[in-house]
Protein backbone atom coordinates (compact mmCIF):
# COMPACT_ATOMS: atom_id res chain seq x y z
CA UNK A 1 0.00 0.00 0.00
CA UNK A 2 1.15 3.52 -0.74
CA UNK A 3 2.27 5.25 2.43
CA UNK A 4 1.38 8.82 1.52
CA UNK A 5 -0.68 9.81 -1.48
CA UNK A 6 -1.11 13.52 -2.09
CA UNK A 7 -3.54 14.28 -4.89
CA UNK A 8 -3.86 17.72 -6.37
CA UNK A 9 -3.63 19.45 -3.03
CA UNK A 10 -4.15 23.19 -2.75
CA UNK A 11 -4.04 25.24 0.39
CA UNK A 12 -5.33 28.77 0.64
CA UNK A 13 -4.61 31.50 3.14
CA UNK A 14 -7.47 33.73 2.17
CA UNK A 15 -7.15 34.05 -1.58
CA UNK A 16 -3.47 33.32 -1.59
CA UNK A 17 -2.64 29.77 -2.61
CA UNK A 18 0.14 28.65 -0.28
CA UNK A 19 0.17 25.28 -2.02
CA UNK A 20 -0.83 24.65 -5.63
CA UNK A 21 -1.67 21.39 -7.30
CA UNK A 22 0.70 19.29 -5.28
CA UNK A 23 0.60 15.62 -6.23
CA UNK A 24 3.01 12.93 -5.27
CA UNK A 25 3.18 9.57 -3.59
CA UNK A 26 5.59 8.12 -1.12
CA UNK A 27 6.10 4.38 -1.08
CA UNK A 28 6.69 2.58 2.21
CA UNK A 29 10.35 2.65 3.17
CA UNK A 30 11.11 5.83 1.26
CA UNK A 31 12.55 8.88 2.86
CA UNK A 32 11.43 12.04 1.12
CA UNK A 33 13.21 15.29 1.86
CA UNK A 34 11.18 18.41 1.09
CA UNK A 35 13.47 21.23 0.09
CA UNK A 36 12.75 24.83 -0.63
CA UNK A 37 13.24 28.18 0.93
CA UNK A 38 11.26 29.69 3.73
CA UNK A 39 7.69 30.31 2.68
CA UNK A 40 7.83 27.73 -0.10
CA UNK A 41 5.13 25.71 1.65
CA UNK A 42 7.10 22.89 3.27
CA UNK A 43 5.62 23.29 6.72
CA UNK A 44 2.13 23.84 5.33
CA UNK A 45 2.36 20.64 3.31
CA UNK A 46 3.65 18.66 6.28
CA UNK A 47 0.89 20.01 8.50
CA UNK A 48 -1.71 18.91 5.97
CA UNK A 49 -0.24 15.41 5.80
CA UNK A 50 -0.15 15.33 9.60
CA UNK A 51 -3.82 16.30 9.70
CA UNK A 52 -3.33 19.58 11.55
CA UNK A 53 -5.21 21.47 8.91
CA UNK A 54 -7.29 20.30 5.97
CA UNK A 55 -6.34 20.80 2.35
CA UNK A 56 -8.29 23.54 0.64
CA UNK A 57 -8.72 21.35 -2.40
CA UNK A 58 -7.59 17.85 -3.29
CA UNK A 59 -6.95 15.07 -0.83
CA UNK A 60 -4.31 13.37 1.22
CA UNK A 61 -4.32 9.66 1.98
CA UNK A 62 -2.05 8.06 4.51
CA UNK A 63 -2.00 4.28 4.26
CA UNK A 64 -5.28 4.53 2.41
CA UNK A 65 -7.05 6.59 5.06
CA UNK A 66 -7.66 10.30 5.52
CA UNK A 67 -5.00 12.21 7.40
CA UNK A 68 -7.29 12.94 10.34
CA UNK A 69 -8.53 9.35 10.84
CA UNK A 70 -7.70 8.08 14.30
CA UNK A 71 -6.05 4.97 12.83
CA UNK A 72 -3.81 7.16 10.69
CA UNK A 73 -2.74 9.18 13.68
CA UNK A 74 -1.78 6.01 15.51
CA UNK A 75 0.63 5.15 12.70
CA UNK A 76 2.11 8.60 12.39
CA UNK A 77 4.87 10.24 14.38
CA UNK A 78 5.20 14.00 14.19
CA UNK A 79 8.08 16.18 15.24
CA UNK A 80 7.68 19.86 14.59
CA UNK A 81 9.54 22.99 15.56
CA UNK A 82 8.55 22.72 19.20
CA UNK A 83 9.66 19.89 21.44
CA UNK A 84 6.08 19.09 22.47
CA UNK A 85 6.81 17.80 25.94
CA UNK A 86 5.52 19.27 29.18
CA UNK A 87 7.87 21.28 31.35
CA UNK A 88 6.02 20.46 34.55
CA UNK A 89 6.19 16.71 34.06
CA UNK A 90 9.19 14.43 34.37
CA UNK A 91 10.74 12.72 31.37
CA UNK A 92 9.13 9.40 32.16
CA UNK A 93 5.76 10.99 32.90
CA UNK A 94 5.83 12.72 29.55
CA UNK A 95 6.60 9.57 27.65
CA UNK A 96 4.13 7.45 29.63
CA UNK A 97 1.44 10.04 28.97
CA UNK A 98 1.91 9.83 25.23
CA UNK A 99 2.26 6.05 25.45
CA UNK A 100 -1.17 5.95 27.05
CA UNK A 101 -2.68 8.35 24.54
CA UNK A 102 -1.39 6.15 21.73
CA UNK A 103 -2.92 3.13 23.44
CA UNK A 104 0.33 1.21 23.90
CA UNK A 105 0.00 -2.09 25.73
CA UNK A 106 2.72 -1.20 28.21
CA UNK A 107 3.36 2.54 28.11
CA UNK A 108 5.76 2.47 31.03
CA UNK A 109 8.04 -0.06 29.40
CA UNK A 110 8.05 1.71 26.07
CA UNK A 111 8.90 4.92 27.91
CA UNK A 112 11.86 3.33 29.69
CA UNK A 113 13.11 1.75 26.49
CA UNK A 114 13.10 5.06 24.71
CA UNK A 115 14.71 6.90 27.59
CA UNK A 116 17.51 4.40 27.31
CA UNK A 117 17.82 4.75 23.57
CA UNK A 118 18.04 8.49 23.85
CA UNK A 119 20.43 8.39 26.77
CA UNK A 120 18.04 9.89 29.28
CA UNK A 121 17.52 6.94 31.61
CA UNK A 122 19.41 8.61 34.45
CA UNK A 123 17.16 11.63 34.46
CA UNK A 124 13.94 9.72 33.94
CA UNK A 125 12.36 11.33 36.99
CA UNK A 126 13.79 14.80 36.47
CA UNK A 127 11.36 17.52 35.48
CA UNK A 128 11.72 18.61 31.90
CA UNK A 129 12.03 22.26 32.85
CA UNK A 130 15.32 21.41 34.56
CA UNK A 131 16.67 19.79 31.41
CA UNK A 132 19.24 21.30 29.12
CA UNK A 133 18.23 22.10 25.57
CA UNK A 134 19.90 19.03 24.16
CA UNK A 135 18.19 16.74 26.66
CA UNK A 136 14.82 18.20 25.82
CA UNK A 137 15.45 17.62 22.16
CA UNK A 138 16.34 14.00 22.75
CA UNK A 139 13.20 13.59 24.83
CA UNK A 140 11.21 15.08 21.98
CA UNK A 141 12.71 12.50 19.64
CA UNK A 142 11.77 9.75 22.07
CA UNK A 143 8.24 11.14 22.22
CA UNK A 144 7.86 11.08 18.46
CA UNK A 145 9.16 7.51 18.11
CA UNK A 146 7.57 6.04 21.21
CA UNK A 147 4.60 4.37 19.54
CA UNK A 148 6.66 2.83 16.77
CA UNK A 149 5.16 4.91 13.97
CA UNK A 150 5.14 3.69 10.40
CA UNK A 151 5.19 7.19 8.99
CA UNK A 152 7.39 9.93 10.35
CA UNK A 153 6.68 13.56 9.57
CA UNK A 154 9.49 15.87 10.54
CA UNK A 155 9.56 19.60 10.14
CA UNK A 156 13.16 20.81 10.11
CA UNK A 157 14.31 17.94 12.31
CA UNK A 158 17.98 18.86 12.38
CA UNK A 159 17.58 22.57 12.92
CA UNK A 160 19.13 23.77 16.16
CA UNK A 161 19.74 20.29 17.53
CA UNK A 162 22.97 19.80 19.40
CA UNK A 163 25.51 17.23 18.22
CA UNK A 164 24.34 14.49 20.47
CA UNK A 165 20.70 14.96 19.55
CA UNK A 166 21.61 14.90 15.87
CA UNK A 167 23.47 11.65 16.40
CA UNK A 168 20.51 10.15 18.25
CA UNK A 169 18.06 11.32 15.63
CA UNK A 170 20.12 10.03 12.76
CA UNK A 171 20.52 6.66 14.39
CA UNK A 172 16.81 6.24 15.13
CA UNK A 173 15.87 7.46 11.69
CA UNK A 174 18.27 5.03 10.06
CA UNK A 175 16.88 2.33 12.27
CA UNK A 176 13.38 3.27 11.27
CA UNK A 177 14.21 3.17 7.58
CA UNK A 178 15.70 -0.29 8.02
CA UNK A 179 12.47 -1.47 9.59
CA UNK A 180 10.51 -0.09 6.66
CA UNK A 181 9.35 3.21 8.11
CA UNK A 182 8.39 5.95 5.72
CA UNK A 183 9.78 9.40 6.35
CA UNK A 184 8.72 12.78 5.02
CA UNK A 185 10.76 15.68 6.28
CA UNK A 186 11.35 19.27 5.45
CA UNK A 187 14.84 20.47 5.98
CA UNK A 188 17.48 23.07 5.62
CA UNK A 189 20.33 21.01 6.96
CA UNK A 190 20.99 19.42 3.62
CA UNK A 191 24.06 17.43 4.57
CA UNK A 192 22.40 15.45 7.35
CA UNK A 193 19.23 14.99 5.37
CA UNK A 194 20.93 13.83 2.21
CA UNK A 195 22.53 10.90 3.95
CA UNK A 196 19.06 9.60 4.77
CA UNK A 197 16.90 10.77 1.90
CA UNK A 198 16.00 8.35 -0.83
CA UNK A 199 13.99 10.98 -2.64
CA UNK A 200 14.02 14.72 -2.78
CA UNK A 201 11.35 17.19 -3.76
CA UNK A 202 11.78 20.87 -4.36
CA UNK A 203 9.03 23.31 -3.47
CA UNK A 204 8.94 26.81 -4.82
CA UNK A 205 6.13 29.25 -4.08
CA UNK A 206 3.75 26.49 -3.22
CA UNK A 207 4.47 24.38 -6.25
CA UNK A 208 6.41 21.18 -6.37
CA UNK A 209 8.85 22.06 -9.11
CA UNK A 210 10.83 18.88 -9.07
CA UNK A 211 10.79 15.49 -7.49
CA UNK A 212 13.23 12.68 -8.06
CA UNK A 213 15.30 10.03 -6.41
CA UNK A 214 18.08 11.65 -4.53
CA UNK A 215 20.77 12.24 -7.10
CA UNK A 216 24.13 10.88 -5.99
CA UNK A 217 25.61 14.30 -6.69
CA UNK A 218 23.73 15.71 -3.73
CA UNK A 219 25.78 13.73 -1.24
CA UNK A 220 28.89 15.70 -2.05
CA UNK A 221 27.11 18.86 -3.16
CA UNK A 222 23.81 19.29 -1.31
CA UNK A 223 23.06 22.46 -3.23
CA UNK A 224 23.03 20.56 -6.51
CA UNK A 225 19.27 20.45 -6.84
CA UNK A 226 18.93 24.14 -6.10
CA UNK A 227 21.60 24.95 -8.65
CA UNK A 228 19.83 22.95 -11.29
CA UNK A 229 16.21 23.78 -10.75
CA UNK A 230 15.71 27.46 -10.60
CA UNK A 231 17.08 30.53 -8.94
CA UNK A 232 15.93 29.86 -5.44
Partner 1 sequence: MAAWRLVLIVAHKDLRAELRTKEAINSSFSFALVILLLFSFAFDPTAEVTREISGGLLWIAFAFAGALILNRSFAREQPNDCLDALIAAPVPSAALFLGKALANWLLLLGVEAFCFPVFGIFYNIRWTRQFWPLLLVVVLGTWGFTLIGTMFSALTVNIRLREVMLPLLVYTVMTPCLLAAMQATSLLLAGEPLAGEAAVWLRFLIGFDVIFTSLSLILVETVLAG
Partner 2 sequence: MRKNIIYVLAVVAAVLLVRNLEVILLRVPVDAEQGNVYRNLYFHVPSAFTSLLGSILAAVASIAYLVYKDLKYDALAVATVEVAMVMLTVTMVTGSIWARVTWGIWWTWDARLTSTFVGWLLSIGYLVLRTAIEEPTARARISAVYAIFASADVPIIWFSIEWFRTQHPAPVLRAGGYIDPAMKSALYWNVPAILLVGVILVLLRLRQEEMRRELDGLRRLAHTLS
Interaction site with partner 2 (CB under 8 A) = 12-16, 18, 39-40, 56, 205-206
According to the binding rule CB under 8 A, does residue 219 interact with partner 1? no
Strands in 4-13's sheet, in edge-to-edge order, are 16-26, 4-13, 57-62, 65-66
**Strand pairing class (4-13; 16-26):** antiparallel
The minimum distance between CB 17 and partner 2, in angstroms, equals 8
The minimum distance between CB 69 and partner 2, in angstroms, equals 19
The minimum distance between CB 203 and partner 2, in angstroms, equals 11
Q: Which residues contact 158 (CB under 8 A, 6 or more apart)?
A: 166, 169, 187, 188, 189, 192, 193
**Strand pairing class (199-204; 76-79):** unpaired
- From partner 2, partner 1, none, interface partner of 194 (C-beta below 5 to 8 A by class): none
Q: Which is nearer to partner 2, 12 or 24 (CB)?
A: 12
For the beta carbon of residue 59, count every other beta carbon within 10 angstroms.
14
User: Which of 4, 19, 62, 78: binder of partner 1 (CB under 8 A)?
Assistant: 78
Q: Which is nearer to partner 1, 15 or 88 (CB)?
A: 88
- From partner 2, partner 1, none, interface partner of 150 (C-beta below 5 to 8 A by class): none
Q: Which is nearer to partner 2, 44 or 96 (CB)?
A: 44
Facing residues of 63 across strands?
none
Q: Which residues contact 112 (CB under 8 A, 6 or more apart)?
A: 92, 121, 124
- From partner 1, partner 2, none, interface partner of 81 (C-beta below 5 to 8 A by class): partner 1
Between the CA atoms of 122, 128, 133 and 135, what dihedral angle is there, to the nearest 10 degrees? 20
According to the binding rule CB under 8 A, does residue 6 interact with partner 1? no
- From partner 1, partner 2, none, interface partner of 142 (C-beta below 5 to 8 A by class): none
- What is the enclosing helix (H) or strand (E) of 146? none
Q: Report the interface residues with partner 1, using CB under 8 A.
A: 50-54, 68, 70-71, 73-74, 76, 78, 80-89, 93, 97-98, 100-103, 127, 143
Amino acid sequence: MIAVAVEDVWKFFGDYPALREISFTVEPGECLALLGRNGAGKTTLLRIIAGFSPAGRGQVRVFGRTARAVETRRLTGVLGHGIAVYDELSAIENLTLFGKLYGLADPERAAREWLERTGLERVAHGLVREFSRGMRQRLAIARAFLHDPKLLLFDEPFTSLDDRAIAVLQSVLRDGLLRGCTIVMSTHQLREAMELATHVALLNQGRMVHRCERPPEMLSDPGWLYARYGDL
